Amino acid sequence: MPSSWRATWSKRGRAGAFGALLAALLGAVPGVRRALASDGAQVPLPPRERFHLFLLAGQSNMAGRGDVEPQDRAPIAGVVALDREGRWVPASDPLHWDKPGAGTGLARSFAVEYLRAHPGVTVGFIPAACGGSPIASWQPGQYFDQTQSHPYDDALARSRRALKRGTLRGILWHQGESDRSPELAERYEAALTELIARFRRDLAAPGVPFVLGQLGQFAGAPWDDAGRRVDQAQRNVAARVPFTTFVSAEGLTSKPDNLHFDASALREFGKRYAAAFAELEQRSRATKPAGAQRRRQRSKAAPPGSR
């Protein structure tokens, strides 16, 4: 054994030296090096104001069930995600781990479009969707047995952890398939309205954009009356609740199950989410100056000593 190896062995101990040698050998292989970089390796983060966070919430079509292809695993510069252990890692699909079938989702294509409009920032995703979850399970303290989790509480905890490093720029929501029954559909509009208000209150983000996507319209599984009621409820909420928008799923295709969007549809859906978000941003910017002007006018009109 060369003297340099003996010195390393004595300093680190046999186990430590073997681990270091193995890591060096594996790291010399390009394919393995890329795998190590995308599998649990914490990535450096930008300053807080340039780290734009997006919460991914809802059920399986937000978690993503598309078949994962090599393009879905390739890291995208400036796009990271909070993994199961709470580490910031390259955002490679699947981003979620709610169920074994998690796959390609809409988040990565959303991020590509968002970065085009916001150069110089880093996008950080907070995966929190739970496949099969009805909106009633997105209440504080509610346990959802299919994913063995508390959807709302877990989303809140993960978001608060992420907010220590970045700023919340939006909530991307896709959910409603599990509420397509006469009884549940009737309550959906009120439940969604309350959910949006609660997320904004609990995350101290009263004006954070909320983007909700339409349920799949698949030829093999046409909507019944309950499905149409959920769709109308989502449209009503988007039209009525400030800083909320609705994304059409028209023309998007499904997997053979006629329930989940396929990978190509999800990539397109992410682009549509980004376009809807950009329009929401424009509307928000257009209203802020007028509001600021009104506040300045009220401040000037206030009597001395009243401010």
Q: Where are the domains of the chain?
A: 43-298
Q: What is the pLDDT of residues 251-290, one digit of tens each?
A: 999 999 999 999 999 999 999 999 999 999 988 787 765 4
- Annotate 116-147 with b (16+ C-beta within 10 A) or e (fewer): eebeebbbbbbbbbbbbbbbebbeeeeebeeb
What per-residue confidence (pLDDT) applies to 51? 98
What per-residue confidence (pLDDT) applies to 288? 61
Stretches in the chain below the pLDDT threshold 50: 1-39, 290-293, 295-297, 299-307
What per-residue confidence (pLDDT) applies to 42? 81
Fold of 43-298: Rossmann fold (3.40.50)
Tell me phi and psi for residue 135, to 5 degrees: -65, -25
Distance CA 98, CA 63 (A): 8
Distance of CA 274 to the CA centre of its chain: 12
- The DSSP secondary-structure symbol of 61 reads H
pTM greater than the 0.85 cutoff: no
- The DSSP secondary-structure symbol of 50 reads G
Nearest CA to 164 out of 114, 126, 118 is that of 126
What per-residue confidence (pLDDT) applies to 125? 98
What per-residue confidence (pLDDT) applies to 70? 97
Distance CA 58, CA 128 (A): 8
What per-residue confidence (pLDDT) applies to 298? 52
What per-residue confidence (pLDDT) applies to 285? 80
